[in-house]
Amino acid sequence: MEKLVANRKFLPLFALICSFLWGCGFSVVKTGYRLFAIDGGDVPSKILFAGFRFILAGGMILVYFAVTTKKAPLPQKENLGGIVLLSVFQTVIQYAFLYIALANLSGSVSSVLNQLGSFLLVLLLPLADKKEHMSAGKLIGCLVGFAGLVLINLNGLQFSFTLSGEGCIILSSCSAAVGYIISRKQSQKMSPVLLTGCQQLLGGVTLTAVGLLSGGHVAPQSVWALPILLYLAFAIAAAYVIWAILLRNNPVSEVTVFKFAVPVFGVLVSAILLGEDIFNLRTIISLAAVAAGIVLVNWRKKV
């Protein structure tokens, strides 16, 4: 499977699969809140819910690794520090803030605003990778994309911003950008499948402990509750394993260009599952700006 994903010919297919899984996740998580009776202001229960999701996801990945490689899913000692660091940024911090934000924002707004991480990644990469350079096209793309993120939060002539909503999702995006850089470096030292499984399991245990110690509680309210949780675990497991393999085997810019599809999938699924109104000029222009920004950032002239 890893060789298939690493094949450059299939980069667009697998990158779009990741974007679809991430885009759907915003609305499905909000559905999960309802099915597990988690109130909008119940932060400990949201963190606990995220913990359960990542424990399941990490377990799925490590079982897959053991079955396909016939090796024990145990990392070497020299890689433990990188796994812990990645877990902190790409699971614990990112999803703790994201799950809080999802209860205070619409699924469509969340999926668009969360793409701030794509622009932050472009800005941070030159500092972490000497092969990546800032250019006028990248800078213009960042500005265009950021304009789209601002537009999605405009309410009339007033700018809408709350710490528990937009603030949390921006912090989540910042953490995700750092996590991608750590993942790219660490996956050069070990299997990206094993890396993702270990960091998600560790992050899930951490989030679960924080949720329980803070008084979190989840109570399934429907027969659909467990299937939804299993789907969320599978989606996050599959998306991050595929993405880690893509980052390891391709130029970062050629991979991240496909993340423009995340808000597109996100708003479409929000309209279907949550009945959100996405057919308005502001949302359409915002989506176009975010997509255009990411394309400009990754544009390469043919020579």
Kindly write down the DSSP assignment for every residue of 104-144, as one continuous string: TS-HHHHHHHTTHHHHHHHHHHHHH-TT----HHHHHHHHH
Mean pLDDT over residues 44-73, rounded?
A: 93
Closest CA to 236 of 35, 91, 84, 63: 91
What does the pLDDT look like over 93-134, one tens digit per residue?
988 888 777 667 665 566 566 666 666 676 666 666 666 666
Identity of residue 28 = V
192 domain-assigned: yes
How many folded domains does the chain comprise? Answer: 1
Closest CA to 233 of 87, 46, 6, 50: 50
CA distance 168 to 175: 11
What does the pLDDT look like over 147-203, one tens digit per residue?
776 676 555 444 566 777 778 888 888 888 888 888 888 988 999 999 999 999 999
237 domain-assigned: yes
- pLDDT: is 242 or 43 the higher one? 242
87 domain-assigned: yes
Domain of 152 in residue numbering reads as 2-297
Mean pLDDT over residues 129-142, rounded?
A: 70
303 domain-assigned: no
CA distance 52 to 207: 8
Mean pLDDT computed over every residue of the chain: 81
Mean pLDDT over residues 8-34, rounded?
A: 85
123 domain-assigned: yes
Tokens linked to 220: 């399934």
- Residue whose pair of structure tokens reads 């994201």 in the numeric block: 98
Residues in the chain: 303
302 domain-assigned: no
- pLDDT: is 251 or 234 the higher one? 234
Reply yes or no on whether the pLDDT at 18 is more than 70: yes
78 domain-assigned: yes
Q: pLDDT at position 252, please?
A: 73
280 domain-assigned: yes
Residue 105 sits at the vertex; the CA angle it makes with 101 and 108, to the nearest 5 degrees, is 115
